[in-house]
Amino acid sequence: MIIKMKKDSTKKQYQKLAEFLKSKNLEIRDVSSEFVHIFGIIGDTSSFEPVDLYAFEGVDEVTRVSTPFKKASRSFKKEDTVIKLEHGIEIGKDQFVMMSGPCSVESYEQLRTVAKVVKQSGAHILRGGAYKPRTSPYAFQGLGEEGLQILRKVADEFELLVVTEIPSSDLLPLFEKYVDVIQVGARNMQNFELLKTLGKSTKPILLKRGLSATVEEWLMSAEYIMSGGNEEIILCERGIRTFEKYTRNTLDISSVLTVKELSHLPVIIDPSHAAGRWSMIEKLSLASLAVGADGLIVEVHHDPEHALSDGAQSLKPKKYLQMTDELKAMAKLLGKTFI
Ligand code: PEP
Ligand code: MN
């Protein structure tokens, strides 16, 4: 952190600030000139924000020079983190990992019909919401524990793994029992109590980017989980809120590149919640592979017109299988394995 004092700041004001910084075990390196009083502070500044220092009189400008996240940062760990799952899945290496399924688990028959298509595509991870975070309290809220049981049963039938969203900390024991990868939804990205609980989980976490979160805030949420002891995190870009109304959200495809520069964690894309329209999913998926994402999470439904949630962005089986064929061909060209 670099601190510049005001031109008319006093020695007393500086001493008060210096005392505070020293109490935090920080070292002060003066780099002042005859025109400006400026100094760098060296050490662990993670317990406060640069803006907190404006509380001290005489402070003119505070600039952070290192990232506020540590364990999630590329400077902390140079090599890419690879999340290993059953069936030889390695997220973050040279595979393009596909997670597919309906938005919501609606019934055993519905999930079974979709899972059959997911299996046929060569994917190994089945998605589906059992607890649904809906904008309206009157919309379908999910089947709850029964949904988790259906997910497990169907996934086992087809030898697939399960990824599904956890809505609150108290449900962790249930999720540990039924689920392979625990998803944190966009609306819960900054539910810090939930993140702390997941820091104690033994399961990998799929951390979605919040609706209006910066990449830094997203990585700080990863840091919450990692600082609790769970370092198995897969980031998921799912589109952010912008002024554009035609699509549900705006897919921030460059965030994959930002994450890869700032962090060692793997990152996948959810084109379904980004676009909100099935007609755009194929092209956005190919773009995700091209930009270097480690995989996709995509919504598929055999009867989207009658889906209980997100039918408009769900691919029908035929379209989904056509898309996965294209992804396989493109992955091969890029030296990646579709799995
Ligand atoms: C979902 O994956 O079903 C979902 C609700 O996603 P998000 O949290 O990204 O809106
Ligand atoms: Mn959905």
Domain termination residue (choose one: 32, 63, 94): 63
The pick from 100, 103, 114, 188 for probing ligand 1's pocket by mutation, whose C-beta has the most ligand atoms within 8 angstroms, reads: 103
Protein residue with its CA nearest to atom 6 in ligand 1: 185
Measured CA to CA in angstroms, residue 171 lies from 130, 152, 153, 207 at distances of: 12, 16, 19, 17
Distance 5 CA to ligand 1 centre (A): 46
Judged by DSSP in three states, 73 sits in: strand
Same domain for 53 and 90, yes or no, is: no
Is 197 part of any domain? yes
Is 268 part of any domain? yes
Distance 273 CA to ligand 1 centre (A): 7
Residue 91 tokens, joined: 């997220």
Distance 25 CA to ligand 2 centre (A): 47
Q: Is the CB of 129 under 6 A from ligand 1?
A: yes
- Report whether 182 contacts 203 (CB < 8 A): yes
Q: Which domain holds residue 134?
A: 83-338
Is 20 part of any domain? yes
CA distance 181 to 205: 6
Q: Is the CB of 185 under 6 A from ligand 1?
A: yes
Q: Looking at the 3D structure of the chain, how many domains does it have?
A: 2
DSSP character for 187?
G
Per-residue pLDDT, 67: 87
Per-residue pLDDT, 73: 96
Same domain for 303 and 186, yes or no, is: yes
Same domain for 59 and 93, yes or no, is: no
Per-residue pLDDT, 68: 87
CATH for 315: 3.20.20.70
Distance 24 CA to ligand 2 centre (A): 45
CATH for 56: 3.30.70.1140
Is 76 part of any domain? no
Per-residue pLDDT, 66: 85
- Report whether 153 contacts 178 (CB < 8 A): no
Same domain for 59 and 134, yes or no, is: no
Same domain for 12 and 159, yes or no, is: no
pLDDT digits (tens, 9 = 90+) for 31-55: 999 999 999 999 988 889 999 999 9
Q: Is the CB of 133 under 6 A from ligand 1?
A: yes
Same domain for 154 and 274, yes or no, is: yes
Q: Is the CB of 43 under 6 A from ligand 1?
A: no
Closest ligand, as measured to the CA of 163: 1
Comparing CA positions, the residue from 309, 321, 334, 240 lying closest to residue 282 is 321
Distance of CA 74 to the CA centre of its chain: 16
Per-residue pLDDT, 133: 87
Residue 23 tokens, joined: 């109490």
Per-residue pLDDT, 62: 96
Q: Is the CB of 238 under 6 A from ligand 1?
A: yes
Domain termination residue (choose one: 63, 94, 112): 63
Distance 308 CA to ligand 1 centre (A): 14
Is 261 part of any domain? yes
Is 71 part of any domain? no
- Report whether 204 contacts 225 (CB < 8 A): no
Is 131 part of any domain? yes
Per-residue pLDDT, 47: 86
For helices 317-333 and 108-120, the axis angle rounded to 10 degrees is 30
Protein residue with its CA nearest to atom 10 in ligand 1: 186
- Report whether 129 contacts 101 (CB < 8 A): no
Per-residue pLDDT, 196: 98
Q: How far apart are the first and last CA of the chain?
A: 43
Residue type, 194: L
Per-residue pLDDT, 322: 98
CA distance 206 to 295: 12
CA distance 322 to 327: 9
Distance 155 CA to ligand 1 centre (A): 20
Same domain for 92 and 22, yes or no, is: no
Same domain for 137 and 12, yes or no, is: no
Same domain for 55 and 119, yes or no, is: no
Per-residue pLDDT, 326: 98
- With a cut of 70, list the residues of the chain below it in pLDDT: none
Comparing CA positions, the residue from 287, 211, 223, 292 lying closest to residue 256 is 292
DSSP 265-327: S-EEE-HHHHH--GGGHHHHHHHHHHHT-SEEEEEB-S-GGG-SS-GGGPBPHHHHHHHHHHH
Closest ligand, as measured to the CA of 164: 1
DSSP lists the bridge partners of residue 95 as: 337
Same domain for 59 and 88, yes or no, is: no
The pick from 141, 183, 314 for probing ligand 1's pocket by mutation, whose C-beta has the most ligand atoms within 8 angstroms, reads: 183
Distance 299 CA to ligand 2 centre (A): 7
Q: Count helices and strands (H / E) in the chain.
A: 10, 15
Protein residue with its CA nearest to atom 9 in ligand 1: 186
Residue type, 166: I
Same domain for 54 and 97, yes or no, is: no
Same domain for 36 and 169, yes or no, is: no
Distance 69 CA to ligand 1 centre (A): 25
Domain termination residue (choose one: 31, 63, 95): 63
Atom of ligand 1 nearest to the CA of 309: 3
CA distance 201 to 339: 25
Per-residue pLDDT, 46: 84
Is 326 part of any domain? yes
